[in-house]
Amino acid sequence: MSSSVDTQARGFLTSLSDTLWRKPGLLVFLLILPPALWLGIIYLGSLFALLAQSFFSIDEFTGIIQYELTFKTYAELFRPSNFDIIIRTVVMSAAVTIAAAIIGFPVAYYAARYARGKWKALFYLGVMMPLWSSYLVKVYSWKLILAKEGILNWLFETLHLGWLLNAYLSIPIIGGNSLSVSATGTFLVFLYVWLPFMILPVQAALERVPQSMLEASGDLGAHPAQTFRHVLLPLALPGVIAGSIFTFSLTLGDYIIPQIVGSSRRFIGQAVYAYQGTAGNIPLAAAFAVVPILLMAVYLWIAKRQGAFDAL
């Protein structure tokens, strides 16, 4: 009896194995199914549920959400106060991305080309270490650094350069009462927090640029600036683009930094939080949430057109 059960069991497993071998497509399907379900239902499904909300609207009079398809909520995005938020966020994201690329590139270049042995380890440690501590702790400590009675202000005063800082802070839009309540402060903190996300991909890209190409460029009489412009930068561009996707999208979505450091003027993330969390205006919150998605789509499309992904 027991031997026949064994045979049966073995027979099933054998036929299963045979089927899978004969139809490799089925095996692939079964293997892909769980992650596809995860991505499709949990990941994208929830996203689409949110986006669908953006096609509803809120009744102006009663504040009740109306479940009829409309573009009215999207039109609200173009009201001056809401459009300001979008512009402010995009300008900040672009500024942070460009600054991160400018600062990150030389750091990554040094690490990829010159750092060896323990210096390389030190580099990784230096870049990664800020990521190990809590994001909130970092932002709060920056608030203290930038405060009116903080260390940076003290440094300027000690160097008798207080007038310089004050002159800078009196500039409208980017200035304020102190660095920690100015847009410049928000920018600096964003830059600090997201910089590792720029440095690491750029460094990975630079390591793959063959030394021989740079030497060949020099041998053919190119000035170092020309070598950089025509050889190094194009070859490292995928890394810069990858890094910029991180810094740009992370800045677009963040709502904690502008709440702690800056002039209280809203960014997209904060607007979503306020509309969804306290106002019950989920359609407008959803419409705001669509903005970064569209912006990133356009950004990726332009990057692709520029050939940034050709080398990948």
Partner 1 sequence: MGVGLSHSLCRLGKIAGCIHRGKLSMNTVLKSGTAMVLALTLAGQTSAQTMLTELGEGEGQVNIVAWPGYLERGETDKSFDWITDFEEKTGCKVAIKNANTSDEMVALMNEGGFDLVTASGDASLRMVAGKRVQPINIDLIPSWSTVDERLKEAPWHFVDGTHYGVPYMWGPNVLMYSTEVFDEAPTSWDVVFKPMDLPDGQPNEGRVQAYDGPIHIADAANYLMHNQPDLGITSPYELNEDQYAAALDLLRGQRKLVGRYWHDAFIQIDDFKNEGMAASGTWPFQVNLLKGGGAPVASTIPVEGATGWADSTMMHSEAENPNCSYMWMEHSLASNLQSDLSVWFGANPAVPTACTDGRGMQTAEGCTTNGMDDFERVKFWTTPVSTCESQGTCVPYYRWVSDYIGVIGGR
Residue 41 within binding range of partner 1, rule CB under 8 A? no
Residue 63 within binding range of partner 1, rule CB under 8 A? yes
Find all residues with CB under 8 Å of 159, minimum gap 6, and list them: none
Reported residue count of the chain is 312
Residue among 20, 263, 290, 293 that touches partner 1 (CB under 8 A): 263
Binding segment toward partner 1, per CB under 8 A, in 24-32, 78-86, 102-110, 232-240: 78-86
Looking at the Cβ atoms of 58 and 241, the one nearer to partner 1 is 58
Taking the complex as a whole, the smallest distance from the CB of residue 174 to partner 1 amounts, in Å, to 14
Taking the complex as a whole, the smallest distance from the CB of residue 96 to partner 1 amounts, in Å, to 19
Q: Which residues inside 177-216 make contact with partner 1, applying CB under 8 A?
A: 177-178, 180-181
Which two structure tokens, joined as six digits, stand for 172? 């409208």
Number of residues that bind partner 1 (CB under 8 A): 43
The Cα–Cα gap between 85 and 271 comes to 8
Which two structure tokens, joined as six digits, stand for 212? 């021989």
Taking the complex as a whole, the smallest distance from the CB of residue 283 to partner 1 amounts, in Å, to 11
Residue 149 within binding range of partner 1, rule CB under 8 A? yes
Residue among 10, 223, 265, 304 that touches partner 1 (CB under 8 A): 265
The Cα–Cα gap between 36 and 98 comes to 35
DSSP tally for the chain: helices H, then strands E: 16, 2
Residue 174 within binding range of partner 1, rule CB under 8 A? no
**Closest alpha carbon to 244 in 179, 289, 180, 309:** 309
Looking at the Cβ atoms of 149 and 219, the one nearer to partner 1 is 149
Distances (CA, A) of 190 to 250, 255, 260: 9, 11, 12
Question: Do the beta carbons of residue 96 and residue 310 sit within 8 Å?
Answer: no
**Closest alpha carbon to 261 in 169, 192, 181, 188:** 181
Find all residues with CB under 8 Å of 226, minimum gap 6, and list them: 217
Residue 150 within binding range of partner 1, rule CB under 8 A? yes
Looking at the Cβ atoms of 32 and 69, the one nearer to partner 1 is 69
Taking the complex as a whole, the smallest distance from the CB of residue 296 to partner 1 amounts, in Å, to 23
Residue 11 within binding range of partner 1, rule CB under 8 A? no
Strands 57-58 and 65-66: what pairing? Answer: antiparallel
Looking at the Cβ atoms of 268 and 303, the one nearer to partner 1 is 268
Site string for partner 1, 266-305 (x = CB under 8 A): x----x--xx-xxxxx--x---------------------
Residue 40 within binding range of partner 1, rule CB under 8 A? no
Q: What is the DSSP letter of 279?
A: S
Residue type for 69, please?
A: L
Looking at the Cβ atoms of 136 and 298, the one nearer to partner 1 is 136
Residue type for 97, please?
A: T
**Closest alpha carbon to 173 in 88, 258, 86, 82:** 88
Taking the complex as a whole, the smallest distance from the CB of residue 60 to partner 1 amounts, in Å, to 8
**Closest alpha carbon to 233 in 202, 195, 200, 194:** 202
Q: Which residues are at the interface with partner 1 (CB under 8 A)?
A: 49, 52-53, 58, 61-65, 67, 80-82, 84-85, 88, 143-144, 147-150, 176-178, 180-181, 259-260, 262-266, 271, 274-275, 277-281, 284
